[in-house]
């Protein structure tokens, strides 16, 4: 949902009803949970494969598993960084999070092009998941824009000066208003 004051391209709500800040925090927490589960499962697969309880045939499979493990660790790290910076009303973690999400989407699409048989069901799944990813990226980007814009935009997104960290743009904007 977009307010009358916001430019047409910046969201004020996540899923039309949740404050943008809370919505992106929920997205980050869900991503941390799912990536933590993926990390645990992938480590178990690698460990079990190395002690022959669950053999992994071929080195490319092991390499692929390690790559997915590293991507899962990166996903967890970026989601955690964003979550912590959202709590302090600081934009860097949010900005890195949406940039990482864009890179992840591009890598996913490239992996699909290289590795997929490209059946109709796979293409439909890619389109659906890509649209969801684009909406999530839009939400995260909108939160970053609202925070760096400040004022009513930040307030509409769910930020307030009381929760801002030392280097938050909200504090700088508050100081500017006090001296003007």
Q: What three-state secondary structure class fits 125?
A: helix
Closest Cα to residue 25, out of 105, 94, 83, 104? Answer: 83
* Per-residue pLDDT reduced to its tens digit, 114-133: 876 778 888 898 899 999 99
Q: Sign of torsion, CA 52 54 58 60?
A: negative
Span 59-84, pLDDT tens digits:
456 777 888 899 999 999 999 999 99
Average confidence (pLDDT) over 99-122: 87
Query: Where in the chain are the domains?
Result: 16-164
Entry pTM: 0.80
Taking residues 108-113, report their average pLDDT.
86
Q: CA-CA distance, 143 to 93, in Å (whole number)?
A: 11
């Amino acid at each position: 949902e977009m307010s009358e004051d916001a430019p047409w391209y910046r969201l004020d709500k996540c899923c039309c009803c949740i404050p943008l800040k809370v919505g992106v925090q929920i997205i980050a927490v869900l991503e941390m949970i799912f990536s933590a589960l993926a990390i645990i499962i992938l480590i178990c697969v690698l460990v079990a494969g190395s002690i022959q309880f669950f053999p992994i045939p071929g080195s490319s499979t092991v390499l692929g598993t390690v790559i997915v493990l590293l991507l899962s660790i990166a996903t967890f790290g970026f989601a955690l960084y964003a979550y912590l910076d959202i709590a302090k009303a600081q934009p860097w973690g949010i900005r890195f999070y949406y940039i990482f999400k864009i890179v992840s989407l591009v890598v996913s699409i490239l992996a699909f092009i290289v590795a997929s048989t490209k059946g109709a069901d796979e293409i439909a799944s890619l389109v659906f998941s890509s649209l969801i990813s684009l909406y999530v990226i839009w939400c995260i980007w909108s939160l970053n824009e609202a925070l760096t814009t400040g004022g009513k935009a930040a307030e509409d997104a769910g930020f307030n000066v009381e929760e801002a960290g030392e280097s938050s743009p909200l504090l700088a904007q508050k100081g500017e208003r006090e001296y003007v």
